Structures are given as structure tokens and as C-alpha cells.
Structure 1
Amino acid sequence: PIRGEDEKGPYVLYGLDSNDCPIKCRPLNDEAAIMSRIAAVRGDEINGAGAKYGLTGNGLRAYIFEDGSPDINHEAFYKIPGNSGSGSRIFHQSQTYFDSHAAHVSGTVSAGFNSNNGNATGMAPESELANRYIHDYSYAVANGATSSVPASGGIVANNSYSDISSQESYYGSTSRNYDSTMYGLRYFLLFSAAGNGNNSARFDMLYNVSKNGMNVAACDEAITDRQLDMSKIKRKDSSGMGPCDDGRIKPDITANGTGLTSVGSGTTGYRGMSGTSMSSPSAAGSAIIIQEMHANLNSGNIMIAALLKGLIIHTATDIKRLDNDTSKKEVGQDGPDFSFGWGLFNALAACDKIYTHHNDPTNLHLTEATLLENSTNKYSFVWDGSSPIRATIAWTDPAGTAKNNEDTTPVLVNDLDIRIYSPSNDVYFPYKFDDSDPNYQHIPATTGDNLVHNVEQIYIKNPGINGVWSIEISHKNSLTDGKQEFGLIVDGQRVSGNEISVSANGNILVNGEPTPLVDNHTDFESVAYNLGADLIHHYKISNIGDTNLIVKNVAVDDMINYSITQPADTNLAPGESTSFSLTYAPTDSGIHDAVVTVFNDDADETNFTFNITGEGVSAAIISDISLRKVLESSSAPINIKLNSRPPGDVTVNLAISGDADLTLPLSTFSFNITNWDTFQTVNV
């Protein structure tokens, strides 16, 4: 193989993509972990992102359904040092013959920290594996997780294979069998690949479209300086896209599937592979970590599969449309879409939600409940006064009737409904797609009565009305067995105790988020230092809890280029807000990075921090003025603009000297923060 090194580190060149561009294989199991945010959750420091919760999947088990097996003695699957016993973490191996696809998939889930010097570490590096044949449903039923405290039962499974009965987006026998298996196992969730046969970027071309499983799409690497870079997100060219024939959203979720290096042949080999076969185990391994987080904080109890699936969907990072060209099928829509599903897997956000629920168990952060036939479950919460409201419901639906290709009849059996009511009794509906429009695959989701999905989500960006909001869960028709278990996840409610929230320009800032952005006013962009210019950004501190919050001080670690106007109010009652401002006045040219800290008495966020950046530039006027000849009784145009964004309104005066025969109809030009880089013209 051809090996090399570039600005991102070492790579192996192992082929060309569909555009004849080189595919560089890197040790990307760890980069997949960065993209799914699992690297920030688990217990390693390999990736440089820090380990927030120290989770590894120790003691939990996944099923790997493959046509073959990894080498059971591969170094990546050694027992964890200090644990009883020795040998491999692979159990119940039904196939002893080696298969490279099976080895790679298994490693992406569970390869240990020592794998390829840590670069091929799996998502759950201390978890156990049960390696079984592709569709060994009987084994899953016999050994799946039936208890909230799993012993040897598998809590998740991965199947990166498919067959003809589940291709091209219709609900065939394989998808039906998946649903039947999961309906019988409350704590068992199957992850499957969306398929790689979609090089024509065709909608309704994907595999494994069960209702209850997680169908995983693949995206290309999107990392800058070892950090997730959402601006680079792009669907992998071959990754399957929905919708299903009955209009359901598939894929469910997206994960990195390009150039992952994982376990290879022998006992020490590693290799690179790409596709949804790689993105699916990346998601499955991350799900193990999320269940471990819940078990650690809840006396060893894991979530029901429906709540786990709903939580993953609820906390996914939305992959929004990157431009307005609706013909580009590889970009996402606001909300769910048929390219990326509900967004990019975000294990950190899911674990943070579990942590919030642990600290505030009386609210509706995570709820497992059962809806009885002919009844309505009602819940209430107090809006926190600043955040969007998001509520997601998910349930493991009974298996539907297997369909033939192009059959659009819904396969949903138990049709649950979620509605949110404001204090003034306004009603909000979940996402849905208007399939009456022939181009609905290109159109963002609307809202209304959803008749096809066993996941429903309501998103209210600007709730606007303080007070008590309510959620109602009901159903249509009858329910199988007279009841339906479900999981409910809610954002936007006032939490118990005090709780700080910081926002700017209408965007909520994340505590500790390292990357400054223009949209949330943490990137000040360019300011002219040689004119003594400055730029002021304003920030809001809110108490979204139910007891008083004390704001002690706001500090910035660069007092040369930045200054702070402290908040006027420091004792915030529940629902109250105050504000502070940052002024960027660069003293020289160059990039000025800094960290802002809001000191307060929030129990778990006493030092709320965020990064800011700005660039000092030398102001100048750009013009196309050159040696010209102006003929008698004629004119010549002069175009003027600025080379950097001013902090506010700027006036440029233009004058003529040395020739009384020239006249200047316009001598004053006004620029501001929106038109500074647009030429203005005057005829001389």
C-alpha cells in the first residue's frame, strides 16, 4: 500500500472514490468517536477531547450478526486487565471462520484501548461481544436483554448485512422479523446499515427498514483540528436514503462511515473500510455507552429500547440545509429528512440528558410509561422562559404485515399521538411529511397528525408564553394487548434548583463548547485596530431553574483586546434574566482567542465557560482607481469599498485636487456592517 502523511497525520491510500479522488485511510475509529461525541464521554484521553464521564461499556454485551467472525484471539479483544478470567471478550461464537467484514465491524464496537496504539479503539472498548450468524433471531430471542439489569443478555445488536426482501425501502420479511424480535425484548435495540447501493443519490433506496430498529446512514469525515466540524458534514455518496414506501423517516441517524480503521486479520492486524457497514457499529457501540451511563446513575438499570431510541433521536445534532439548492440531495433539511434522518449521533448530549434527569428526577427529562387502551396520559411542566421546547415519544411497535415493493400502506400497528398545549391552550403537532407533494423528499418536514411513525417529535423554537405547558399522549383505534409502552424525552422545562443558561443573538451557548461561531456572537470576526475601532456583543444570563441564581462575576482571560460590562443584576429569581457585554477592541493585527467565564452558584456549572475569537486587521479603502483618461464631455467610473468589516457606520470622503475641470457628483460614501465589502460607484 501507498503510505504518506499530511496535515492531519499518517494515512494509507487504499483506493479512489466515485469522483476519482484518493481515499486516505486513517486510524479513524477514534475519529468516528470524535464525530459521535463518544470520545468526550468515555474514559480515554487519546483524542484530546477530554473524558467527561469515564465510560467504557465494561460488563455490557452486544450482538454482532455477521457471515463470519474476527479472530477470537486478536489483541483488540483481550480481557480487560484486572477483571477475572483471561482470553477474549468474544462469547457464544457461532462461526469460527475468519471474515474481514465481521472483524472490522466487531472492532468498531468493542476494540480495546490498546488497539493499534489506541487509534482503532472501539466505541465501547471494554464491552463484550456475542458473534452470531446474520439473521440468528432465535439466539437473540433466547439471549436478548429481558431485564432492566442485564447479566449476559445483549442490550444492542448490529447487523451490517441485508437481503433482497428488505432493499429499496419496502417493509419486507426481514424488516418484519426484526420488528417481531424487538417487540418481544423490551431492552433490545438493533442497529442496521442503510446500505451502500445508492451511488445515483436516489431517494427511497435503502435497506433494513424495520420500524423499531435504528437504520444508520453514513457521512464523510467532518473534523478540523481533532474537533467535530459541522460545516464539513456531507452524506457519503453511496449511503442509502429514504423515505420508506409507506412514508416513514429512514435512515434514523447518521454516523461517520468513511475510511474507518479497525480490526483486521490475524491477532494483530488492522485495516480500513468504508460504508454504512462501518457507521452502523459506530452507532451501536455508542449506544452501549449511553446505556452504561443510565445504569451507573440508576442502580444498574438500563433504559427500555424505546426510550434509548427516542433519546438518541432527540439529542441528535440536526444536519441543516447548507444552501438553498433543493436539487442537492446530499444536504439536510431543518428537522428530520431522508438523507440524514434525525441528524448526527451525539452521545455526549444523550449522556448529558441522563445526567440532568438524575439531578432533577421529578421533571419530564426521561420518562418510561404505558398507555392503556382508550386512555390519555397527561403531563405538565413549567417552561424555563428561554429555551426551545422539544418533546419526543418513541415506542416498540408490534410487527406489521410484510409488504411488496411500492406498497404505500402504513405498517404502523399501534398509532400513538403526542400533542403539546400552551398555557393559552394553543396546540402543537409533531413533525410529518406531506407525501401528497410529488417532490416532498426535497421539502422540509411540516407538522400535523402523524399516521406512519413510531417516533414522533414536537419542536417549538420560540414558545413565548410563560407558565404551565402540558403534554398529552393518546392513540387511535385499538392497541395490541390493550396497551403500549413508550419512552418520552422533554427539553425546555424549568429544572429543580437554580440552573444557568447563557445565550446571545437568540442562540443558547453550550458550557465548555470550544468552537466560536458568528451566529452566537462568540466570533467577533474582523475589526480594524488602526482606527481604534471596536465591536460590542451582548449576552443574556437566565435562571431556568426554580430557586434563585447568584451571578458572582464575569471574566475574560484577555483584558488587552477585550473588556466586559458586568451584569447589572446578580441575584436572579426563577425565570429572570440579566445581561452583560463584551467589547472587542484589538490593539494589533492577528487572531485574538480568549475564554469567558461566568462565575455563579449553579451546583454543576459554577464556572460556565465559552471561547471567543476575533481578528485585528488594518483598515484600508479598496478602489479600482488607476491612471485614467477622461475624455472631454465624458465620464469615468470609480468603485470604492472597505477591506474589513467596520464596527458600525463609516463615512469615506472623496475629493479631487489639481484639475478644476473634473467634477465629483458624489463625494461622501457610507458603509456599515452589512455593505462594507460591496463596491459603491461614482462617475467622475
Structure 2
Amino acid sequence: MRFILLVLLLFVGQQTSLYSQVVDKKNRFEEFQTSNEHLFQQKDIVHKYAESIGIPIKIELENGRVADLQFFDKSGHPTYYTVFNTGSAITTGTNDLNPGGELGLNLTGKGMTVGVYDQTRPKPDHVEFEDRLTQIDGSTEDISNHATHVTGTILAAGINPGVRGMAYESTGWAFNWDADLSKMNANAYDPISKPNGHLVSNHSYGFVIGWFRNSSGSWVWSGNSSVDPDEDYRFGFYSSKSKGLDDLAFTKPFYTIVWAAGNDRNDTGDGSRNPDGPDDSIGPEGVAKNIITVGAVSGIQNYTGPEDVQISSFSSWGPTDDGRIKPDIVGVGVGVFSSAIADGGASDSYASLNGTSMAAPNITGSLLLLQQLYGERNNGRFMRSSSLKALMVNTSKEAGNHPGPDYIYGWGLLDAKAAAEVILNENGSSDFIREEVLSQGNTFEYEFLSDGVTPIRSTIAWIDPSGNPVGPSLDPTDLMLINDLDMRIIDEEGNTYFPWTLNPENGPSARGMQDKDNFRDNIEQIWVPNPKAQRYRLIVSHKGELAGGEQNFSLVFTAGTIDGAEETLYWIGGAEGSWNDGNNWSLTAQGSPAGKIPSNGTRVVFEGTEGGNTAVNLSASVNAFSVNLFGDQVVTFDLGGNNINVTNGFRVSNQITEIRNGTLTFENELSNSQIIEFGQTAFENVRLNFNTGNWRLIAAEKLGDVRIDEANLEVALESLEVNLLEMVGAGSIDGSFTSITFEEDFIAEPQANIKSDIKVIFTGENGLFNQLASENITELEVQSGELTLLSAGVDKITASNSTVLLDREVLTISELDLGEASTFDLGPSGQLTILDNISVDATSDLGSKIQAGNEGKIIHNVYRKYCFENLSLENVDLEGDAIINLGLDAEITNSEGWIAQNCEDVLFADFSFQYPCAGAAVTFENLSEGAISNYRWDFGGLGESELENPIFVFDSPGSYVVQLTISNSSGDVNYELPIEISSNDLTKPTVVVNGSNLTSQQPGSSYQWYLNGELIPGATNRSLSAESDGSYQVAIFNDICNRVSDPVVISSIPDQEQDLARFGIFVGPIPSEDKVTVYVSNTYRGPLTLSLVDMAGREYRRTEVGKNTDELEIEMNLPGRQGLYLLKINTNNLTLHKKVIKQ
């Protein structure tokens, strides 16, 4: 019987959220697509293949449901999708976010986009959708009642008041479920590539797994009996689809995916095999780590406790095969009344349906509203999907038999109201949402003082890299968690509080424990129900190696803390008023005057609506615990030359804020980082003093004058833009930023600590750079104006359209890069030492210049040839090993050491070498430049060569100086390089000669053959067929060395062979102390090459002459080393050998 995979419609919803992760900068989803092509095949191709092998494209199920063929898995089994069918807003508290709710909010989803992926397509013109629904994929299939119902739960307008959706003014993008991963990837929100994409998406469908009823009501089993004959292994199994969802979530970190858990818990079957469930009954999609998996409960009008939450009869339970907590959350999925169709889609209708398919959109729409609220209070920024998940879990209502999570209800019942209150009450101390990065080997710590009354609840979540699916098997326990983060809370008495953990062996409803680290889940929560009034430390760490070297994580924290804030004052001063007037402040929002102004312990709040613009002025300096601006109003502060002293934080979440004419001072004695979020605030004539404490800047455009004394400033931005920066104390500036742009001065005193791996960019007219901190910054880039250098403190200086003025006698840098219209002025007689590299990128119209007033100097002691154009010199000498040519047309005034020639004419000797081992064929590669006529090598006095790329054998380890001299008619240039010859563990090979066949007697990992001391291209086998006369050698190799054999001479002419012609050849005297005379007497005319090699194959001399007469006499100098040599005499078609002895 052919195994069939089915996919069920779960009526599940999916959501997206914002996530600012420095992603490893591989696209994990693209990698997944490449390795799982079966999931992305076009539908017509899949259908044609199915028809060819007799597999149905559709399967009719009970109650009129249909399963559609989607793909064939890697085992060749067909896979089908189908739907999961079996007062939502009140149960989950979502109605309190809507207009008229308890929170006084006006959240409707307006301006937000949600994705709805479902069976075919919802009815686009249903009256409840008000032209807010678009079928993005262009599907023209039959309209689906299921898809219409799911869509209505999310965004129905409430024309019929009983069906108003969670986000009833949101925009819906509809897709059928075909190729869902590809569509999700193309349409999900991304702040750069898809800023208009759907932030959250809903998926109320999934695989048909285990038992299902067909259209006649009979039970059919869809499992794979070859894996297990009694149970469908896919329950709880982390599959390639699970991995694909996790890769997608990792690649799109701003996108939240909501998926229905499924309705398989009580599928009993016909008795021939085990029934499905109750536990371990969630399919592969719901098993994914980085999504939100939703179970279904009955509706609740008034929650009083966990016993009010009743799981539905059908909702699938966890755990996953590796013991992770699923579902994540539960929502209303029983008797859900929503939009529907009649007459096959011709008419609008309404219906009540059951299923996790109904619960998912309840969650999806609610989470979309939480993102809307967060965006409104955070200058348009959204939460990471991990932050949204952590917020959801941290604030959920308790469900189940015991406190904490279980495998039935997950983390409990969604409480949208409580989640919204965290966003509204976020203050950086007792209630906050933090998005952090944990780097390899580091920890995150937060210290707080509990009030001893309010329970402590802390949740972390992270988008984990996708797991590694195992082969099909029943209940594999292989852990799918990749980056294992750990959270603990430790009180001042040393007591440690651990996160919740579940043991899958104890059953789905067993009590969770808090006695050890959680090593399975990528979400953890610590709950301290009865804290003491003492100090606590929250610590986030990790085990093992972090994939990618770091892991972004989100932290949601709620507790009662003593942070120094004694009261909150709200601005009620209207369109214009004085901060110093107590009648402009109230103890409640829009309340009556408090008759007092903020002080050190006051949390200051400005909150207004669009059009309610406010101008605030100061007549004297003031204090505040924190300053918070929310809403859509424009707020302008005129400080009047005064100071606002802030001890906790400064948060600007409205659209436009202006601060001018004064000082903001930040100082405290706390160990925790206080949050500064300036958003789009514009500063004019404002100094920001960071005197003491720890501060974290998470949002800002251009700041004013920034002065850091003893404070530590973490900049969690890509770049920091300031008017000027002064670091005058032992404070620090660090963080994720990679550049600082300034317009006036950049000053860092010696005791300051500044992030070194950054680029500092000057964009002003006149500025000063004085960087005295102990560590150099990476690069100073001068883009305009004139910048005066008072100090070093930088590795690289880049200049274009600007002047760099050296106001010190000596400066040392690593690199200098001069662009168009740039001038480097050394002052009267400055000296610039460049350690590594110089580059010039200028044009004839916009040239570069290095100048000095009297006598400047450039020192570049790197042996390298440069050829620059459009660089002029005035009163600047060049010293060092560098060869710098400026071209024939260069303007060189009163400057020495520079060359003005054609670049190709400048001789520059250089070489590299390989295999510096004793007894090895050390290979020398000529890297010289210029019009070279001759090469002369000296190998530490042991031998010489005139080849361009010689090979030499050093007999013993040691230090040797190798010299290369190149020459032409204009002169010669030499280059010396000390090389260290190491010992050699390889055995010296022996060449076995069998006629013309040569073989290395010793084996090696690789081989190379040489003829007359020169490498034979392509001769890399153990054996070689000698095709010409000469001296042959073989080298064997390992990773770092080779070892070369003694030469063997292959010749058809013996030594003392017959003369070339009747007159003969004479070489003598033999032996000789210094030179020999070669006398050739014959009738041969043409080229003649004489080469002298030793018995190791090293060539020492090569002479090429033309023989135009009968007699030719040539003198050849012998090498310094005594021994036996071979003189080879080559004509066009003949090679002769003569033995020569040096004594």
C-alpha cells in the first residue's frame, strides 16, 4: 500500500514581529531551499508526476473537507494539506486593546498588514472585509468557507457585531497554501527588503497525520508502516518542513509565524493500530522552534483561575520528540462565530466552527495589535518575533493543573491586556522589554532591588538556528536546540532560581520543575512568587559554542522594584508652557494640576495625540528620574541655557521632538544600563553630558555635543552621529556601532576607553582630532573641510575633498589613502611614518598632494613598488625601502627619494619561495617588475642561478640570505631576503630507472618531477617516462616540505661522446679551480645553449650564444663549491654532456 502524507487545515494564525539581529550573513532560508527542492516544485510538475504513478491529486475527507497534494517528500511519499476544523476577544483580553476597552487604547490594526495562508482563498468581497483583503498570489480557485472564517476572526469589521475580528481595521494579504514557504519568504515583513510586508501571518492547516476519516466516514491510517507499523512517526517529529520554518524565521527576524497545533488528539482509528494521542500529537509544522504553535480551548467570559481554562476535546498536545514545550499558547477554538459563505461563495454568511484553526487567528489578530501598540510607542519600530513571543509567554494566564507550563496548554492562555500593560508601563526597571545580543563566552546581567511584594517573572526567547533533522524514526530524542542559553536569578543570600523545565517522561500534565537549567527550549521563564525585599541578579549565559559566534535574545521582565522613582508627573501644560510651573504637571494623565514640578525621583511623561503639539521652556535647571515622550504630538524643548539632569532614562517615542539651547546631563550610581531612546529627536545647540553611570543608547539620529566623563555609554546602533565628542574622564563608549561621524572636534583623553574597531568620519568645515586613548581606532576618514591632527591614535587615515593638517612633529599610522582633491599637510617640518600601505585614487582634474612648509618627511619602510598618478609633492622627502613612482608628468618640488618614470620602466626586484626545508627542492618564484633582461640569484653563497624561477636544494637547516639581482641596459637592482631552512622529516627519495621509465622508490602524498633543475609541468605522478635527455629528479611532498632525489642522467650519448662534427669539442682544464674554456670546432651554425648543473640538478650558469663560424670559444665561471658538475651543450636537435670537476 502506498504511504500517503496529508496536510490538515488547522485554522491557525501566523504573525510577524520586528527583529534587529546582526544575522550571520548567510541566508539560511536560501540554503534550505537548495537542499529541499522537493518542497518548492511547481504545482503542475507535482500533479503531472502524481498522475503518471496513479496518486490522487485530491482526497475527499469527512464533512466535505478536501486534502490537496502539495509535494513528494524525500522518500517519495505524497504529502497533502487540509484544514483543521472541529466571544474569542474577551477570553484573550484583546477587547481591552480596542476602542472602549479598559486600557483606553484605540488599537484596531489600522495600517498593519497580516498574512492569511489557507486552503484556497477567502471570499474577497465579503461585507466584513471592506475592501481590505487582497489575494496576493492571484489564486482563482473555489472560495473556501474555512479561509473566509479564519480571515474574519482576524479582521472582520463587525458589521455583524458578533463577528468583529481581533484587528478589525487591519489589511489582509491572502494566499493559498501551495508553496507556502516560498510565498512567506517573498511577502514577510523585512525593514529593508520588504518594509510593506505582512508582519504576522496565520496558518490554520497542516499535514494529515495518523488516523483520519475519508468522505464515507471510514477510518484511514496515513502513517508509514516501514518506519513503525502502529504509530505515525511524524507526530512530534522535527522534519525538513520544521527546519524550513525555522530557517525562514531566522532569515526574517521581524516576522512572527503562527501555526495551529492540529486536531489529532482523539482520532481513535479502527482499532487495527494505536489511536492518535492524546500526547505527542502535534505535526511537524507545529514542532518548529521559532514559530508560535496554538492550541484550542473553550471561551471564557470571566477568568478567575486556571480551572476556568478548559482544553477542547480535539486540540493536539505535546511534547515534541525532543521534549520541547508545545503548544506555545492556547486561544479560543470552540464555537467561534465568524464570517462564512453560502451558495458556494456567491453569498455572504456567518457560522460557528471548532478547531485549532479557529484558535490560531484569535492569537494572530491579538499579537498584531500588540505590535501596533509597540510601534506607536517606539517611533514606528516593532518587536522582534522573539520579543513578541517572550511578551506573550511572560503575561499569559495560568492554565492546567499546576503552575508553569505543561504539554497541554503550553505556557497558558493568551492575555493581550496584560501584555499591553507591559508595553504601556515599560520603565526600564520593573517592567521592560529588552533586545540583547549574547556573544561567545559573555554573559548578560541585570541587577535589581525587589520590593519584597510583587512576584518576579522573567522570560527570555531567541530565534534559534534551525535544528538538524534525523532520518524517519519513531520518537527520536535528538535535541534540536542549537544555541543553548541559560537564565538564572540569584539573590543576595546566594539562592539560585532556575527556569521552568518539563520532563517528557512524566506525562503531558505533570508539574514543571525549577531546579535546573532548561536544555531543550529556546524560551525560558523564571518565576519567583514570593520574593524578599533584597537585591537580585538576573544572569543570561550560554553553554558550548554559539553557532555564528553570538545569539540575539529578547528579555521581558516584570517585578516590583525599588528604582528611585517616587512618583510620576504628566505634562498638562497644553500647547506652550514652562517646565518650572507646577500647574503644568499632574499626578495622572490629563488630570488636575499637581502644583509641583518634577524632581530627582519623578518619572516625567509627555503623552499626546496628533495635532496636540507642545512647546516646553525652562527658566531654570531641573531634575528628573526619567523623561518619557509617547504619542503622535510634536514636542519642542527650549532649555534657555539651562540643564535637565536625568538619573534613569530618556525615552522619545513620538514622531518629532526638538531640543535646543541647553544641556542634558545623565548621571547615577547604578550598575544596570539605563535606556536612552532619542528616536528622531533634533538637537540644536545642545550638550549631552554623560557624567556617571551606565547608559545604553538604542535610538538616535544626529546628537549635539557629547561629553563623556566617568560614565559608560553603550551605543546599540549601526552608527553614531554627533556634532563633537569629548571623552575627558575614565568613561567608555562601546557597543554595536561601527562608525562615529562628527563635524567639529573628536577628543579622547589618555584615560578614556573607546571602541577601537570603528571608523571615525569628519564631515565639517574646520575640526580637531586628538585621540589619546590607549587603543588606536581603526580608521579616520576626512570627507570635507580641514581637520587638524593633534595626536595619533588611529591606524588608517583616508582623505578626499579635504585637507588634513598635521599639528605635531611626528605621526605614525598604518595606512594612508588619498582620494580626489585631498591634501596632506605636514606643517612646517612634520614627519609621517606609514607602516603598512599607501594608496592614491585621484584624477588629473582632482589631484592629491602631500606638502610641507619647510622640510617634511614621509617614511615608508615597506619593500614595495608603487606607481601613482596625479599625486604632487612639495618640500617632502621620501625615506625607507618603498619604491614610489609618480610618473613622467609628476609635479615634484624640492622633494627627494621619489621616482618620476614610466611605471613599466621601473625595476623592482622581488620573489617568494616555497618548501623551505633541508634537502627539499626550494622553489623560488620571481615577482619582480620592470623591463628585465637578466636574472642573477645567489643562494647564501652555496650556489647561483640565472634562471627566472630557479629551484635550489639546501643541504642543511639554518639561516640563509638569498639575493636576487635583476638588470637591464639602464642598470641593476637587487633584493635580499633572509630565509630559515628547517629540518625535514621526509626520507630522501631514490629514482629507479628502467629504460626511459623513471619511478620514485619512496611513496609520498604527492610528487613533482624536474628536468635539468626546472619543474616539468604536469609531471606529478609517481612514475615518469623520460622523453628527452637530461638530469631528472623527483620530489615527494607532505603538507609543509618536500624532499628531492639525487639526479639521474638520461642520455643516448655517453660521456666523452663523439664530437659534433669532424673538428670536435674541448672543455678544460679538468679539474679547474675557477673557470673552464669551452672550445667548439665544427661546421654547425645556429643557436647554442650551455648550462652548468650540479649533481642535485641545480643550475648555476646558463649562456645562450649564436654560432656563426666554424670555431667558437667561450669561458664559463665555475661555482664556489667544489664538486662534480655536468656541462650540457644544446643545439636545435642535439644535447651533449661533459663532466666538469671544480677543485
Tell me what 1:133 maps to: 176
Alignment-derived partner of residue 485 in structure 2:
416
Q: Is the 8 A contact 1:148 1:303 kept in 2?
A: no
Structure 2 SS opposite 1:317: coil
Q: Is the Cα contact below 8 Å between 1:34 and 1:228 reproduced in 2?
A: no
Structure-to-structure mapping, 1:286-301, within 5 angstroms: 286-301=366-381
Match of residue 520, structure 2, among 452, 467, 473: 452
Aligned to 1:232, which of 305, 308, 315? 308
1:40 has 2:96 as partner: yes
Q: What is the distance in 2 between the residues matched to 1:228 and 1:102?
A: 33
Contact 2:400 2:408 in 1 (8 A): no
Q: Is the 8 A contact 2:306 2:398 kept in 1?
A: no
Does the CA-based 8 Å contact 2:497-2:514 persist in structure 1? Answer: no
Cα displacement (A) at 1:380: 1.5
Correspondence 1:280 to 2:363: no
Matched, 1:347 2:409: no
Counterparts of 2:120 and 2:144 in 1: how far apart (Å)?
5
Paired AA for residue 292 in structure 2? M
Taking structure 1 as reference, are residues 319 and 465 closer, same or farther at Cα in structure 2, changes over 3 Å only? same
Counterpart CA distance in 2 for 1:284 and 1:167 is: 25
The 3-state SS of whatever aligns with 1:484 is strand
Residue in structure 1 matching 2:201, options 157, 164, 173: 157
TM-score between the two structures when normalised by the length of structure 2: 0.37
The question of 1:69 aligning with 2:121 is answered yes
Q: Which blocks of at least 5 consecutive residues in structure 1 are unaligned? A: 1-14, 16-30, 79-86, 322-332, 501-545, 550-573, 575-684
1:149–1:302: 8 Å Cα contact kept in structure 2? Answer: no
Does residue 1:184 correspond to 2:228, yes or no?
no
Match of 1:466 in 2: 534
Q: Aligned equivalents of 2:194 and 2:379: distance in 1?
A: 12
Q: Is the 8 A contact 1:398 1:413 kept in 2?
A: yes
Of the candidates 330, 341, 352, which is equivalent to residue 254 of structure 1? 330
Structure 1: distance between partners of 2:364 and 2:546? 30
CA contact (8 A) 1:216 1:276 kept: yes
Deviation, 1:254, is 0.7
Shift of residue 221, structure 1, vs aligned partner = 2.0
Shift of 1:160: 1.1
- Counterpart of 1:651? none
**CA 1:438–1:297 in 2, change beyond 3 Å: closer, same or farther?**
closer
Q: Deviations over 1:343-387 (max 9, x none)?
A: 100000000000111xx2466611001111121112212212211
Tell me the equivalent position of 1:434.
Answer: 503
1:241 equivalent in alignment to 2:313: no
Map 1:521-670 → 2, pairs under 5 A: 547=601
- Residue pairs, 1:286-365, within 5 angstroms: 286-321=366-401, 333-357=402-426, 360-361=427-428, 365=432
Q: Structure 1 residues 210, 94: CA separation in 2 closer, same or farther (over 3 Å shift)? A: farther
Mapped partners of 1:479, 1:486: distance in 2: 12
> CA deviation digits over 1:630-677, x for unaligned, max 9?
xxxxxxxxxxxxxxxxxxxxxxxxxxxxxxxxxxxxxxxxxxxxxxxx
Deviations, residues 281-310 of structure 1 (Å, cap 9, x unaligned): 110110000000100111111101000011
Contact 1:60 1:150 survives alignment (8 Å): no
Q: CA deviation at 1:167?
A: 4.5
Give yes or no for contact 1:394–1:486 (8 Å, CA) kept in 2: yes
How many Å separate the matches in 2 of 1:288 and 1:232? Answer: 26
Question: Distance in 2 between the 1:382 and 1:307 partners?
Answer: 24
Q: CA deviation at 1:246?
A: 0.4
Q: Once the 2 structures are TM-superposed, how far is the Cα of residue 263 of structure 1 from its aligned partner?
A: 1.4
Maintained 8 Å contact 1:222/1:231:
no
Given candidates 89, 96, 99, the residue that maps to 2:140 is 96
Tell me if structure 2 keeps the 8 A contact 1:198–1:240: yes
Taking the aligned partners of 1:52 and 1:445, their CA distance within structure 2 comes to 38
| 2:450–2:532 Cα contact (<8 Å) kept | no
Deviation digits for residues 249-298 of structure 1, max 9, x if unmatched?
00100111011111111453211111100001110110000000100111
Secondary structure of 2:388 counterpart: helix
Q: Does 1:384 align with 2:464?
A: no
Tell me the alpha carbon deviations over residues 83-118 of structure 1, each in whole angstroms, 9 at most, x when there is no partner.
xxxx3333514423201111111111111132x2x2
**2:547 equivalent in structure 1:** 480
Cα deviation, residue 215, structure 1: 0.6
CA contact (8 A) 2:309 2:400 kept: no
Judging changes above 3 Å, is the alpha-carbon distance between structure 1 residues 157 and 334 closer, same or farther for their aligned structure 2 residues? Answer: same
User: Which shows bigger deviation, 141-150 or 342-351?
Assistant: 141-150
Q: How far is the alpha carbon of 1:440 from its aligned partner?
A: 6.8
How far apart are the structure 2 equivalents of 1:132 and 1:439?
38
SS of the aligned residue for 1:39 comes to helix
Contact 2:462 / 2:554 at 8 angstroms: preserved in 1? yes
Q: Cα gap change, 1:71/1:164 in structure 2, threshold over 3 Å: closer, same or farther?
A: closer
CA contact (8 A) 2:392 2:415 kept: yes
CA distance in 2, matches of 1:148, 1:429: 38
Aligned amino acid, residue 110 of structure 1: L
The answer to whether structure 1 residue 171 and structure 2 residue 200 are counterparts is no
The 1:364–1:425 alpha-carbon spacing in structure 2 relative to 1, beyond 3 Å, is farther
Q: Which of 214, 238, 250 is the aligned partner of 2:292?
A: 214
What's the secondary structure of 1:409's corresponding residue? coil
Deviation of 1:244 after TM superposition, in Å, equals 0.8
Equivalent-residue separation in structure 1 for 2:384 and 2:490 (angstroms): 27
Return the offset for 1:230: 5.6
Q: Does residue 366 in structure 1 map to residue 411 in structure 2? A: no
Q: Which has the higher contact order (CA 8 A, sep 6+)?
A: 1
How far apart are the structure 1 equivalents of 2:242 and 2:413? 23
Residue of structure 2 aligned with 1:109, choices 154, 165, 183: 154
**SS at 1:131 equivalent:** strand
Q: Deviation string for 1:317-368 (max 9, x for gaps)? A: 01142xxxxxxxxxxx2110111010100000000000111xx246661100
The alignment partner of 1:77 has SS state of coil
1:20-59 map, 5 Å: 31-43=87-99, 45=100, 50=102, 52-59=104-111
- Superposition deviation, residue 415 in structure 1: 0.8
Is 1:142 equivalent to 2:186 in the alignment? yes
Structure 2, unmatched stretches of 5+, are: 1-62, 64-86, 210-232, 269-276, 569-599, 604-624, 626-1143
Q: In structure 2, do the counterparts of structure 1 residues 161 and 350 end up closer, same or farther at CA, with 3 Å as the change threshold?
A: same
| Aligned AA (1:215) | T
2:406 and 2:508 in contact (8 A); partners too: no
Distance in structure 2 (CA, Å) of the matches to 1:210 and 1:355 = 31
Note the C-alpha offset of 1:443: 3.4
Alignment partners' CA distance in 1, 2:438 and 2:201:
27
Q: CA deviation at 1:446?
A: 3.8
Is this contact kept in 1: 2:96–2:417, CA < 8 A? yes
Aligned to 1:517: none
The amino acid across from 1:241 in the alignment is W
Contact 2:451–2:533 (Cα < 8 Å) also in 1: no
Paired residue for 2:281?
A: 205
TM-score w.r.t. the length of structure 1 is 0.62
